[in-house]
Structure 1
Amino acid sequence: MRLLPILLAATALAGCTVGPDFVRPQAPGTTGYQPSSEQNTAVRGAPAVTLGAGPTQRWWTAFGSPEMDALVDRAIANNRSLAASNATLAAARDELRAVAGRQLPQIDANARVDQEQVNLAGFGFSGNNPLASGGNPEFHLYSVGGGISYDLDLFGGLRRQVEQSAAQVEAQQRQTEAAHLSIAGQVVNQVLTVAAIRAQIATANALLAEDLRNVDLTQKRRQGGEGTLVEVLNAQSQYTADRGDIPQLEQQLAEARHLLATLVGIAPSELGATEFDIAKLTLPSAIPVALPSELVHRRPDILQAEADLHAAAAGIGVATARLYPDITLGATLTQGAPGIGDLVKNAFRGYDIFAGVTAPIFHGGTLKAQRAAAINRAKASEATYQQTVLTAFGQVADLLSAIQSDARSVTNQSESVSVAERSRHLSQRSYQVGNSGILQVLETERLYQRASNGLVLARTRQLLNVARLYVATAGGWTGPATDTPGAG
Structure 2
Amino acid sequence: MKTSTRFTRSAFPSALSALAIMAMLSACTVGPDFQRPAASSSQHYDQQAERQPAEQRFDMGQRINGDWWTALRSAKLDQVMRRAIDGNLQLLAADATLRQAAASVAAAEGSLFPQVDFAAAAGRQRTHTGADPSIANVYAIGPRVAFDLDAFGGLKREVEGQQALTDLQKHRYEAAYLTLTGDVARQALLLASANAQIQAVQSLLANDAKNLDLVQRAQQSGSTTRIDVSLAETRLAEDRTLLPPLAQQRDAARHALSILAGKGPADWIAPDFALEEFALPANLPVSLPSEMARNRPDILQAEAELHTASAAVGVATANLYPRVELSASLAQAASGNGGAALWGLAAGLTAPIFNGGTLKAERQASVDGYNASLARYRQTVIQSFGQVADTLQAINHGAEQNRAQDDALRAAGSSLQLNQQAYAQGENSLLQVLEAQRAYQQALLGQIRAKTDRYLDTVQLFVALGGNSVGVFGQKLATREHADQQPL
TM-score by structure 1 length?
Answer: 0.89
User: 1:315, 1:374 within 8 Å by CA — same for their partners in 2?
Assistant: yes
Indicate the residue corresponding to 1:19 in structure 2: 31
Aligned partner of 2:483 in structure 1 is: none
Residue identity over aligned pairs, in percent, reads: 39
Matched, 1:233 2:225: no
Question: How does 1:329-478 map onto structure 2 within 5 Å?
Answer: 329-337=326-334, 347-473=339-465, 474-477=467-470, 478=472
Specify every segment of 5 or more residues in structure 2 that has no aligned partner in the other structure, as ranges: 1-10, 479-488
CA contact (8 A) 2:310 2:370 kept: yes
Q: Is the alpha carbon distance of 1:254 and 1:153 closer, same or farther for their aligned partners in structure 2, counting shifts above 3 Å? A: same
Per the alignment, in what secondary structure is the counterpart of residue 480 of structure 1?
helix
What's the CA shift for 1:390?
A: 0.5
* CA–CA distance in structure 1, aligned partners of residues 224 and 99 of structure 2: 77
Residue in structure 2 matched with residue 86 of structure 1 by the alignment: 95
Q: Which residue of 1 aligns with 2:83?
A: 74
* Match 1:279 to one of 267, 276, 281: 276
Secondary structure of 2:137's counterpart equals strand
> What do residues 233-270 of structure 1 show as CA deviations (whole Å, max 9, x unaligned)?
21112112211221222122212211121111111123
CA distance in 2, matches of 1:208, 1:20: 71
Shift of 1:218: 0.5
Candidates 169, 172, 193, aligned match of 1:172: 169
Per the alignment, do residues 61 and 9 of structure 1 end up closer, same or farther by CA in structure 2, a change over 3 Å counting? closer
Deviation at 1:56, TM superposition (A): 2.2
* Contact in 2 for aligned 1:199/1:456 (Cα 8 Å): yes
Alignment of 1:143-222 (within 5 A): 143-222=140-219
Equivalent residue number for residue 32 of structure 1 = 44
Contact preservation (8 Å) 2:316, 2:362: yes
How far off is 1:370 after superposition? 0.6
After TM superposition, the structure 1 stretch with the greater mean CA deviation from structure 2, 329-338 or 459-468, is: 329-338
Aligned to 2:52: 41
**What is the DSSP-based 3-state SS (H/G/I as helix, E as strand, rest coil) of the residue aligned with 1:427?**
helix
Residues 1:107 and 1:53: Cα distance change in structure 2 (over 3 Å): farther
SS at match of 1:354: strand
C-alpha contact (below 8 Å) 2:117/2:145 kept by paired residues:
yes
Residue 264 of structure 1 aligns with an amino acid whose one-letter code is: A
CA displacement at 1:13 relative to structure 2? 7.4
State the TM-score, normalizing by the size of structure 2: 0.89
**Counterpart residue identity of residue 112, structure 1:** A
Aligned AA (2:311)? A
| 1:290 alignment counterpart | 287
Structure 2 counterpart of 1:106 = 115
Worse overlay, 9-18 or 194-203: 9-18
Residues in 2 aligned to 1:60 and 1:466: alpha-carbon distance in whole angstroms: 10
Is the alpha carbon distance of 1:273 and 1:318 closer, same or farther for their aligned partners in structure 2, counting shifts above 3 Å?
Answer: closer
Q: Conserved in 1, the CA contact under 8 Å of 2:91 and 2:176?
A: yes
Q: 1:62 aligns with which of 60, 65, 71?
A: 71
Question: AA paired with 2:181?
Answer: A
Structure 1 unmatched ranges of 5 or more: 484-488
- Partner Cα separation in structure 2 for residue 270 and residue 65 of structure 1: 24
Q: Are the aligned partners of 2:68 and 2:468 in contact in 1 as well (CA < 8 Å)?
A: no
**Matched-pair contact (CA < 8 Å) for 2:190–2:452:** yes
| Equivalent residue, structure 2, for 1:486 | none
Tell me the alpha carbon deviations over residues 418-443 of structure 1, each in whole angstroms, 9 at most, x when there is no partner. 11011111111111121111111111
The amino acid that maps onto 2:342 is G
Q: Distance in 2 between matches of 1:471 and 1:68?
A: 16
CA contact (8 A) 1:185 1:471 kept: yes
Provide the C-alpha distance between the structure 1 equivalents of 2:303 and 2:155, rounded to a whole number of angstroms.
22
- CA separation of 1:143 and 1:124: change in aligned 2, threshold 3 A: closer
What do residues 168-203 of structure 1 show as CA deviations (whole Å, max 9, x unaligned)?
A: 111111111011101110111111111111111111
Aligned partners of 2:50 and 2:392 also within 8 Å: no
Change in Cα spacing, 1:143 to 1:458, as seen in structure 2 (3 Å) is same
Structure 2 counterpart of 1:34, which letter? D
> Which residue identity is paired with 1:317?
G
Q: How many angstroms does 1:113 deviate by?
A: 3.1
Deviation at 1:54, TM superposition (A): 2.0
Indicate if the aligned counterparts of 1:53 and 1:294 stay in contact, CA closer than 8 A.
Answer: no
The answer as to whether partners of 1:190 and 1:259 remain within 8 angstroms in 2 is: yes
Give the secondary structure class of the aligned counterpart of 1:275. Answer: coil
Per-residue deviation, residues 373-397 of structure 1 (Å, max 9, x unmatched): 1111111111111111100111111
Contact 1:215–1:232, Cα closer than 8 Å, also in 2: yes
Q: Residue 299 of structure 2 contacts residue 377 of structure 2 at CA under 8 Å; is this kept in 1?
A: yes
1:317 CA drift (Å) = 0.8
- How far residue 225 of structure 1 moved from its aligned partner, in angstroms, is 2.2
Q: Aligned partner of 2:412: which letter? A: A
CA distance in structure 2 between the partners assigned to 1:382 and 1:315 by the alignment = 14
Q: After the TM superposition, which parts of structure 1 deviate over 6 Å for at least 4 consecutive aligned residues?
A: none
**Aligned residues of 1:203 and 1:452 also touching (Cα < 8 A):** yes
Q: Report deviation, 1:273.
A: 4.9
**What SS does the aligned partner of 1:268 have?**
coil
Distance in 1, Cα, partners of 2:45 & 2:183: 24
